[in-house]
Amino acid sequence: MLLTIAFTMVNSTGMTKITSTLGIRGTQLPGLQYRFSIVAEVAPNIPLDSTEAGELGFIPITGGPVSGDLEGSVVSGGGDWCLRKAPGTYRVEARYGIRTTAGSYIDVYNTGILSRPEEESGAMNHGRRREYFMTTPVFRTTDPELAWLTRSVFVGQAVAGNGATTIDVFEVLLPGTASA
């Protein structure tokens, strides 16, 4: 898609028209490539605070497997600070670590939104009937073989329940880039 912008300037000698053509890639969307899954096992919610902003709880992360392009396990001791904004709407902010099967450590900072229409009064939630739980994990590591985790944007599609949160992690690819 091309966008043409025309400017008309008036100066002392008359009018001058300046035209510029810009290439806009708005019709090309980034791609997603599945990379790995995290199963973060959790302990029960611990209520922390209740204010006009919402109800804040802490959910301890106790372990769990990691599988796919990244193999290892979730390190016990992390947690998820979960802010209930309204019935059925939560803002989540988790911090935890992953230890790979090779022994490397990865720090994970993962924020997201969980929407459960069945908890809302009136329950339809604009026609959506299923849970919406999307996250944006950010990874840090000193292992050069895992540097790919620090050079891309990732999104997570999550499901919570039965003592764990499962997150399928996808790498966001440049438009026109084929997944491997």
Task: Report helix, strand and coil shares of the chain as percent, to nearest 5.
Answer: 5, 65, 30
One DSSP character per residue, 55-70 reads EEEEEEEEE-EEEESS
CB atoms near residue 87 (< 10 Å) = 13
Closest to 158 in 3D by CA, of 75, 87, 86, 59: 59
What CATH number does domain 30-173 carry, 2.40.160.20, 3.30.310.50, 3.90.400.10, 1.20.1250.20? 2.40.160.20
CA distance 115 to 35: 24
Question: Which of the residue ranges 3-12, 59-68, 73-82, 140-149 would you say has the lowest mean pLDDT?
Answer: 3-12
The stretch 172-177 carries a mean pLDDT of 88
Q: What is the DSSP letter of 153?
A: -
Q: Per-residue pLDDT tens for 54-73?
A: 899 999 999 999 999 999 99
CA distance 176 to 160: 33
Would the pTM of this model clear 0.85, i.e. be above it?
A: no
The stretch 125-136 carries a mean pLDDT of 76
Q: Which residues does residue 171 pair with via DSSP β-bridges, in sequence order? A: 33, 154
The domain locations on the chain are 30-173
